[in-house]
Amino acid sequence: MHTPECRRLCMVRIKRNDNIRRYIMKFKNIFAIIMVASAISQAASIYDDAAAYWIFYEDPIDDQIIFDSTSNGNDLCRGFSFGIDDRDASWRSAGASGFRGTSIRCYKNVQIGEMTYTGFVSSGSGIEADLTDLNIIGDQSFTIAVWAKATNPDTNKGMPFLLSKMQSSGDLRGWALSIRDVNDSTEQDKVEFYLRSTNSFRHRLWVKNSVKLRNFADTRRWTHYAITYDGGFDPSGVHIYVNGTELQKRINGEHLTVGDATDCNKPFNICARNNVSQGFADVDETAVWHRQLSAVEVQQCVNEALPVNWSHTGGNTTVDEATISSDTINIALNGPPTSDVTVTIEGNSLFNFGSGIGNSHNVVLNAANPSATVTVTAAQNYTPETVEPYFINLTSSSGDTNFNGVYILPLVVSYVDDDTARVIVTSATPPALMVHEQGETIDTFTVSLAKPPTADVNVAPSFDAQFLRVTPSNYIFTASDYSTPKTFTVQAIDNTFLNTQLVYYQSINFTVASSDLSYEGLSVPTLQAGVYDNDCGTQNLILPGDINTNCRIDLADFAIFAENWFICSFPDTPGCTN
């Protein structure tokens, strides 16, 4: 509790801050232009048409306000009021944040002495807190993006309600973005997006990634999350991106119905819902757009924030222990430096980045050579390794302060261990295997083994033949071709089942048989195939005259009509034939 003297001093400061705030609000557009100019050097920024963009600049005059760097006036505040309160998120200095510039730290129920503290960010409280620009409307496209890292003091890596504008009871109307912890009791290791009209079937979207988030990012480090939505009421129009990579998604059979209202008059929150704190996180550079960003534009969000970027030269970077194979990564500067930039790749005993196994490796970039390709080669050992990707730290040093000691996303490198029996399944079109009922289109995936077997290994897929066709029926792997990927073809079946969403998912499971006991009965992760339905019942578009519900009105419907001519629901009615 605050003492009377503390409350008196707080009220004096609040009054002073309110006067200053009124002055600032009068000229906030000028301040916003200055902040944007200092934060973004590119002539054309991805944020130029954002509805709101917060760079979390700590204003030296009034540090309660988190300015919207657009001209739209969607300013936020620490806590739930523009005056000081006991729920203020705290500022993190540029050096402490590990990102670029200042950032905000959220927290929940932190005990200091006899006091318990909570901190979040909001658009305020009361009617004025309803920033309508931040509503997601069911029939309008939208994008949200945020840089964040989990800071929970225990092992939890989740960030519940990282961003939200949602009711906390009743219909739960509105939207929210959450990051689920790896040990969550229901939905482990997921990016989760909600858009609700009511909390009931066919009046809400609920979309999450189907693959482990840990395969793409370490949530304890700065990570970029983005959700795009096409305004089509259906989960197929929602896309999830992590560090610029689109994740395969899983849909819970949920969709909105045309006409559903999803706007919400509750405050916009960071690390909270309806001004109630939800967790721990550091947050920076957050934005919303009233349009659906493309995959290239989402990647631009990532690139603009980072002076040094890297990218896979293929869909991913994977090296094989058995064949001591290599793969490549491209490292590039986002703009010309005034002096050399040395990027150091941290050593790891499983990899050789060019300076020997386990050694760190330096890459020197400059204005004349702003990018370079690095070759990574697998090291061979006799120890079983984890099947999850490895995150390799990158650091920078330069006489140019714009590139010296800046944050760089960790490299993500997969290591195929040959000391453990494993079946490797890879989609040809990441992030998702997708086929269409219309035209019965195809997609492919490959299968290979991680280590040489001592006997032939038979890998056979199983699936629901009402929805999919997978060929061939199986492949046999031997000690001589075990690491050679073999291709399966997946084809959609044009059926007449009326599904509850435009895209539905079918599981492809695998049976492994071999006299090599390390492979016999080996468990293989299920592969999900997304199928685009072509039956109009999917979106309640069956026309009144479409009696057989085949999405067209033709003579077949007329035949049914003629066959039932003058048949009545009540047979005793005069003039009825039944």
From edge to edge, which strands make up the β-sheet containing 371-378?
308-312, 326-333, 371-378, 351-352
**Percent of the chain whose pLDDT exceeds 70:** 87
Q: For residues 226 and 292, what is the distance between their CA atoms, to the nearest angstrom?
A: 11
Summarised one tens digit per residue, pLDDT across range 395-440 is 999 999 999 999 999 999 988 887 888 898 988 776 668 899 888 9
**Is the predicted pLDDT of residue 40 greater than 70, yes or no?**
no
**Is the predicted pLDDT of residue 466 greater than 80, yes or no?**
yes
Q: For residues 244 and 224, what is the distance between their CA atoms, to the nearest angstrom?
A: 7
177-181, 289-293, 377-381, 574-578 — which is least confidently predicted?
574-578
1-15, 27-41, 291-305, 337-351 — which is least confidently predicted?
1-15
Q: In 3D, which of 462, 453, 446 has the Cα closest to residue 480? A: 453
Here the tokens at position 516 are 């090599």
Summarised one tens digit per residue, pLDDT across range 535-576 is 765 555 567 788 887 777 888 888 888 888 878 877 777 777
Cβ atoms within 10 Å, residue 183:
11
Element (H, E) at 89: none
Average pLDDT, the chain: 85
Peptide bond before 431: cis, by omega within 30 degrees of 0?
yes
Architecture category of domain 423-537 in CATH: Sandwich (2.60)
Q: For residues 16 and 9, what is the distance between their CA atoms, to the nearest angstrom?
A: 11
Q: Are 4-305 and 308-416 equal in CATH topology?
A: no
Here the tokens at position 131 are 């920033």
* Cβ proximity of 182 and 152 under 8 Å: no
Cβ atoms within 10 Å, residue 25:
16
3-state secondary structure of 470: strand
Q: Does domain 308-416 have CATH number 3.30.930.10?
A: no
Stretch 196-224: mean pLDDT, rounded?
Answer: 88
Query: Taking phi first (over 0 means left), then psi (-120 to 50 degrees means alpha), and beta for anything else, what does residue 93 get?
Result: beta
59-73, 202-216, 222-236, 280-294 — which is least confidently predicted?
202-216
Letter string b/e over residues 425-450, b meaning 16 or more CB atoms within 10 A of that residue's CB: bbbeeebbbbbbbeeeeebebebbbb
User: Which residues are CB-contacts of 569 (< 8 A; sequence separation ≥ 6)?
Assistant: none
Q: For residues 75 and 28, what is the distance between their CA atoms, to the nearest angstrom?
A: 10
Q: In the structure, what pLDDT confidence band is assigned to residue 18 with cuts at 50, 70 and 90? A: very low
From edge to edge, which strands make up the β-sheet containing 191-196?
65-66, 76-78, 121-122, 269-270, 159-166, 174-179, 191-196, 204-209, 249-251
Residue of higher predicted confidence among 307 and 83? 307
Res 496: pLDDT: 79
User: Which residues are CB-contacts of 156 (< 8 A; sequence separation ≥ 6)?
Assistant: 150, 181, 183, 280
Res 148: pLDDT: 96
**Is the predicted pLDDT of residue 9 greater than 50, yes or no?**
no
Res 1: pLDDT: 36
Res 476: pLDDT: 97
Res 11: pLDDT: 34
Q: In the structure, what pLDDT confidence band is assigned to residue 101 with cuts at 50, 70 and 90? A: confident
* CATH for 4-305 (2.40.400.10, 3.30.70.260, 2.60.120.200, 3.40.50.2020): 2.60.120.200
Amino acid at 59: D
Q: Which sequence spans correspond to the domains of the chain?
A: 4-305, 308-416, 423-537
Q: In 3D, which of 484, 485, 486, 482 has the Cα closest to residue 473? A: 486
Q: In the structure, what pLDDT confidence band is assigned to residue 314 with cuts at 50, 70 and 90? A: confident
User: Which residues are CB-contacts of 452 (< 8 A; sequence separation ≥ 6)?
Assistant: 322, 418, 479, 482, 483
Summarised one tens digit per residue, pLDDT across range 216-233 is 888 889 999 999 999 999
Its pTM stands at 0.74
Q: For residues 469 and 465, what is the distance between their CA atoms, to the nearest angstrom?
A: 6
* Cβ proximity of 312 and 343 under 8 Å: no
Res 66: pLDDT: 94
Residue of higher predicted confidence among 558 and 177? 177
Res 498: pLDDT: 67
Q: What are the DSSP E strand ranges found in 274-410?
A: 276-277, 281-289, 308-312, 318-320, 326-333, 341-345, 351-352, 361-365, 371-378, 390-392, 394-398
Tokens 């000229």 found at: 27
**Is the predicted pLDDT of residue 65 greater than 50, yes or no?**
yes
Q: In the structure, what pLDDT confidence band is assigned to residue 186 with cuts at 50, 70 and 90? A: low
Stretch 257-277: mean pLDDT, rounded?
Answer: 93
Res 19: pLDDT: 41
Q: In the structure, what pLDDT confidence band is assigned to residue 184 with cuts at 50, 70 and 90? A: low
Q: For residues 311 and 244, what is the distance between their CA atoms, to the nearest angstrom?
A: 10
Stretch 51-74: mean pLDDT, rounded?
Answer: 92
Stretch 488-502: mean pLDDT, rounded?
Answer: 82
Summarised one tens digit per residue, pLDDT across range 406-417 is 999 999 998 888
User: How do strand 191-196 and strand 204-209 relate by DSSP bridges?
Assistant: antiparallel
Q: How many helices (H) and strands (E) does the chain have?
A: 5, 39
- DSSP H helical segments within 260-407, as ranges? 295-305
Summarised one tens digit per residue, pLDDT across range 109-136 is 887 777 778 899 999 988 778 899 999 9
Res 115: pLDDT: 74
**Which one-letter DSSP state was computed for residue 400?**
S
Virtual CA dihedral for 78, 84, 86, 89, nearest 10 degrees? Answer: 20
Amino acid at 197: S
